Amino acid sequence: MRTQVAIIGAGPAGLLLGQLLHKSGIDAVIIEQRSPDYVLSRIRAGVLEQVCMDLLDKAGVSARAHAEGLPHDGFDLLFKGERHRIDLQALTGGSRVTVYGQTEVTRDLMDARAAAGLVTVYDAQNVAVHDFDGAHPRVTYEKDGQMHELACDFIAGCDGFHGVCRASVPEGALHTYERVYPFGWLGVLADVKPVAHELIYANTERGFALCSMRSNTRSRYYLQVPTTDKLENWTIDQFWTELGHRLDPEARANLETGPALEMSIAPLRSFVAEPMRFGSLFLAGDAAHIVPPTGAKGLNLAASDVGYLWNAFADFYNDRSRAGIDTYSDRCLRRVWRAERFSWWFTSLMHRFPETGEFGQKMQEAELDYLVHSRSASTALAENYVGLPMDFGT
Ligand code: FAS
Ligand code: PHB
């Protein structure tokens, strides 16, 4: 089998790239190690930047996101028992975010790909990438006991943090940067009314908490927990009790509890691999970088990488220009590092670290107090939260 672009991974990055390439008349085959149901079962991101929404528009898959997504013009910071609203729309001259779960984005992309009759190989085993620094790049994989080979012009490594593509880059050709945080997020998805109409990010002496949602009847909550914590240490009732301890009185009074649809603990890390291109292999999304989810950047960075890569391939096939391909890594990494900085800063401000102590807590509270009372500090937070532009003037 042969294609123009072989895409490894059918998460949001791989599926969005496949859809955008299709719109540009470029052939792509997606190879995914898991089943469609497994991919859809992973509960992850919830907040889309306008940059991401614009790409979903261009991919022709945004109808449901516009119909069912919740436009949010602001969010609350909760500290010292009080909530302070960050007015995103006023501070950024009109920008907002859309609350729409990654699961739904993935579902919309899967449905569009199937409707267009495009090839996605699910349940592929022993996927391997070959000769991406040579003249004949290709992908091999096993499906139903048969080995298959896919020849291609380019390979897009959209296979996430634990994927095969970054792992296939020769030792020494890659430089990685990493910070692993000394805590994780215990997340709960439940069919209960959200505690507020916008998100609440809480800094408390007991640790961080986040009140998010998927709709007006389905909520998504997170609690900071130690990295040593285990899911079996928690019942859903203990989760609701601890969440209540971390909320202000009004939110606590509004807290609707119920059974968990999903409950999981996610580790937090910052990670970047440089560069993001090796010959005809291009890394995009979590395959190249990871952010702590505090700033809601993971999925959005995957989307902007894909936007740059789509433009690069379209320039190559339609205008025979290599400019986009040759600048792909630098253009992605500039936006990636700004999002890594924001996510690290917001995580450092909102979470309790082993060394935080009483003085550190006072420093965090003082920074938050300054932030919510300074228009310039709040503007800096708002600009980063709604998402920086894809192409930087400065
Ligand atoms: P993904 O990991 O989503 O997709 C990669 C795909 O490649 C997967 O389907 C995988 O099965 C497949 N794959 C892997 N190895 C393969 C191989 N060898 N061969 C073929 N296929 C292979 N972001 C936020 O903004 N907010 C959040 O709250 C948030 N929570 C998260 C919680 C968790 C537990 C994790 C892991 C991430 C979270 N993220 C969050 C980040 C997340 O949303 C990612 O940024 C997003 O999934 C990135 O999408 P992809 O790059 O497509 O990677
Ligand atoms: C979510 O709804 O899953 C979510 C929202 C905002 C974040 C992180 C996660 O910063």
Give the CATH number for residue 48: 3.50.50.60
Distance 10 CA to ligand 1 centre (A): 9
Residue identifier of the C-alpha nearest atom 7 of ligand 2: 296
Residue ranges of alpha helices (H) inside the chain are 12-23, 36-41, 50-59, 63-68, 88-91, 102-115, 236-245, 249-254, 298-319, 323-350, 357-373, 375-386
Residues known to be catalytic: 72, 201, 293, 297, 385
pLDDT of residue 217: 97
Does residue 115 lie within any of the structural domains?
yes
- Residue span of the structural domain in which 41 resides: 5-177+268-386
Question: Whose atoms come closest to the Cα of 188: which ligand?
Answer: 2
CA distance 168 to 171: 9
Does residue 309 lie within any of the structural domains?
yes
Question: Whose atoms come closest to the Cα of 52: which ligand?
Answer: 1
Does residue 255 lie within any of the structural domains?
no
With vertex at residue 128, the alpha carbon angle to CA 162 and CA 269, rounded to the nearest 5 degrees, is 10
Residues 135-155 have pLDDT tens digits of 999 999 999 999 999 999 999
Pocket probe for ligand 2: among 42, 43, 44, 47, the residue whose CB has the most ligand atoms within 8 Å is: 47
Distance 264 CA to ligand 2 centre (A): 14
How many CA atoms does the CB half-sphere of 357 hold within 13 Å? 2
Q: Position of tokens 């709604």? A: 386
Domain count, the chain: 1
Phi, psi for residue 51 in degrees, rounded to 5:
-55, -40
pLDDT of residue 394: 44
Does residue 260 lie within any of the structural domains?
no
Q: Is 214 in the pocket of ligand 2 (CB under 6 A)?
A: no
Does residue 207 lie within any of the structural domains?
no
Does residue 225 lie within any of the structural domains?
no
Q: How many other β-carbons are positioned within 10 Å of the β-carbon of residue 323?
A: 12
How many CA atoms does the CB half-sphere of 363 hold within 13 Å? 11
* CA-based nearest residue to 282, from 112, 127, 163: 163
Distance 253 CA to ligand 1 centre (A): 35
Is the distance from CB of 11 to CB of 39 less than 8 angstroms? yes
Does residue 199 lie within any of the structural domains?
no
Can you give the pLDDT of all 394 residues of the chain as single tens digits? Answer: 999 999 999 999 999 999 999 999 999 999 999 999 999 998 899 999 999 999 999 999 999 999 999 999 999 999 999 999 999 999 999 999 999 999 999 999 999 999 999 999 999 999 999 999 999 999 999 999 999 999 999 999 999 999 999 999 998 999 999 999 999 999 999 999 999 999 999 999 999 999 999 999 999 999 999 999 999 999 999 999 999 999 999 999 999 999 999 999 999 999 999 999 999 999 999 999 999 999 999 999 999 999 999 999 999 999 999 999 999 999 999 999 999 999 999 999 999 999 989 999 999 999 999 999 999 999 999 999 999 988 754 4
Average pLDDT value over all residues in the chain = 97
Q: Is 343 in the pocket of ligand 2 (CB under 6 A)?
A: no
End-to-end CA distance of the chain: 44
Distance 227 CA to ligand 2 centre (A): 19
Does residue 241 lie within any of the structural domains?
no
SS3 at position 304: helix
Region of 139 on the Ramachandran plot (φ > 0 left; ψ -120 to 50 alpha; else beta)? beta
Contact residues of ligand 1, CB 6 A cut-off: 8-14, 31-34, 39, 44-46, 102, 124, 127, 158-160, 163-164, 266, 285-286, 293, 296-299, 302
